[in-house]
């Protein structure tokens, strides 16, 4: 339980810093608005079109592949924590686990789904 | 009330409030972001129950992957995520009634169980669920076969999902 206090502290600091930065700018900064200043900031380039656009469906494939490897990481996490105390057989089991999933990565790669179209 | 109970009530109210925002907000992207907030509240609840590993998994898988998949699905399929129709239909009271009845029924059923009012025993000191789980996952006496089968299952999910999602020309 007590180790979570550090996590809570980290979250609190992580919230305070951006809120503080924005609030300081809001309080201290001079406010002389004009239409150019009010425009949405887009890396210095003039914004084109609407902000609500449809994204390329290809992102979805990356998300799906990421999801599978995310779950793999969850399985490997307790294994990795205990790896130092376990013998060689645990290492071999972990390698088998990963290599089965590598087949999936090779499949998506060979199918050309990781290429950006 | 102890400190842990106060934290639990605050977290529970926060989670409930976020969950309410998921179903009432008009913008689908905002609903997905409120869902992230709700899932985070659930993760904190797990942490309060000393289920450290489950709390981390909740953040990594549900917030890190599932919620992102939701947001992607919304961003990729709809140009305009703002909904103009009403958020409730005329059956809202029926849904509320069913929810209250299910809650009352479950509470009634569980109140008959002997463990309902018992306080959970303290965990032994030095109890580390993650390393116990890590040991069990690769031990031949425990879950080594399910561990490797999980890998095959993930492979099947990956190949199947990519096959279905890929737009063949």
pLDDT number for residue B104: 95
CA distance B68 to chain A (A): 8
Domain layout of chain B by residue ranges: 1-79, 128-169
* CATH code given to domain B1-79: 1.20.120.1200
Pair of tokens at residue A116: 């950006």
d(CA B11, CA A115): 43
| Residue A2: φ, ψ to 5° | -65, -25
d(CA A60, CA A79): 29
Average pLDDT, chain B: 84
- Strand ranges inside chain A, DSSP E: none
B127 interaction partners in chain A (CB closer than 8 Å): none
B134 interaction partners in chain A (CB closer than 8 Å): 77-83, 86
Look at residues B59, B62, B73, B60 and name the one whose alpha carbon lies nearest to residue B29.
B73
d(CA A50, CA B80): 10
What are the structural domains, with CATH classification, of chain A? Answer: 2-110 (1.20.58.1610)
CA distance B9 to chain A (A): 16
Contact across the interface for A68 and B158, Cβ inside 8 Å: yes
Residue of A75, A110, A117 to mutate, interface with B, max B Cβ within 10 Å = A75
B79 band by pLDDT with thresholds 50, 70 and 90? low
B97 band by pLDDT with thresholds 50, 70 and 90? very high
> B112 vs B128, which has greater pLDDT?
B112
Contact across the interface for B66 and A73, Cβ inside 8 Å: no
ipTM of predicted assembly, 2 dp: 0.72
Contact across the interface for A60 and B137, Cβ inside 8 Å: no
pTM of the model: 0.78
* Residue-wise pLDDT tens digits, B9-67: 999 999 999 999 988 888 888 888 999 999 999 999 998 888 888 888 999 889 988 88
A28 band by pLDDT with thresholds 50, 70 and 90? very high
Contact across the interface for A90 and B150, Cβ inside 8 Å: no
> A12 vs A115, which has greater pLDDT?
A12
By CA distance, what is A77's nearest residue in B?
B134
By CA distance, what is B78's nearest residue in A?
A54
A74 interaction partners in chain B (CB closer than 8 Å): 57, 60-61
d(CA B42, CA B85): 30
Contact across the interface for A66 and B82, Cβ inside 8 Å: no
pLDDT number for residue A16: 96
Is it the case that residue A56 has pLDDT exceeding 90?
no
B105 band by pLDDT with thresholds 50, 70 and 90? very high
* Closest Cβ opposite residue B61 in set A59, A65, A70: A70
Percent of chain B with pLDDT over 70: 92
> A42 vs A26, which has greater pLDDT?
A26
B100 band by pLDDT with thresholds 50, 70 and 90? very high
């Amino acid at each position: 339980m007590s180790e979570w206090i550090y996590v809570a502290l980290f979250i609190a600091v992580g919230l305070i810093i951006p809120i503080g930065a924005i609030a300081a700018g809001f309080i201290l900064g001079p406010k002389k608005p004009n239409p150019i200043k009010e425009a949405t900031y887009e890396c210095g380039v003039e914004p084109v079109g609407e902000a609500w656009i449809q994204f390329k469906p290809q992102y979805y494939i990356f998300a799906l592949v990421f999801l599978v490897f995310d779950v793999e990481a969850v399985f490997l996490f307790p294994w990795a924590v205990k790896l130092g105390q376990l013998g060689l057989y645990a290492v071999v089991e972990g390698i088998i686990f990963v290599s089965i999933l590598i087949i999936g990565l090779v499949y998506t790669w060979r199918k050309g789904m990781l290429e950006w179209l | 009330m102890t400190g842990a109970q106060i934290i639990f009530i605050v977290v529970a109210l926060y989670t409930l409030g976020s969950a309410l925002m998921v179903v009432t907000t008009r913008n689908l992207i905002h609903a997905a972001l409120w869902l992230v907030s709700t899932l985070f509240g659930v993760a904190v609840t797990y942490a309060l129950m000393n289920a450290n590993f489950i709390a981390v998994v909740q953040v990594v898988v549900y917030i890190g992957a599932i919620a992102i998949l939701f947001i992607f699905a919304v961003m990729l399929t709809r140009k305009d995520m703002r909904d103009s129709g009403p958020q409730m239909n005329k059956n809202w009271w029926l849904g509320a009634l069913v929810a209250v009845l299910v809650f009352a029924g479950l509470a009634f059923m569980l109140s008959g169980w002997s463990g309902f009012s018992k306080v959970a025993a303290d965990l032994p000191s030095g109890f580390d669920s993650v390393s116990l789980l890590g040991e069990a996952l690769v031990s031949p006496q425990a879950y080594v076969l399910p561990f490797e089968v999980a890998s095959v299952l993930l492979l099947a999910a990956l190949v199947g999902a990519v096959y279905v999602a890929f737009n063949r020309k």
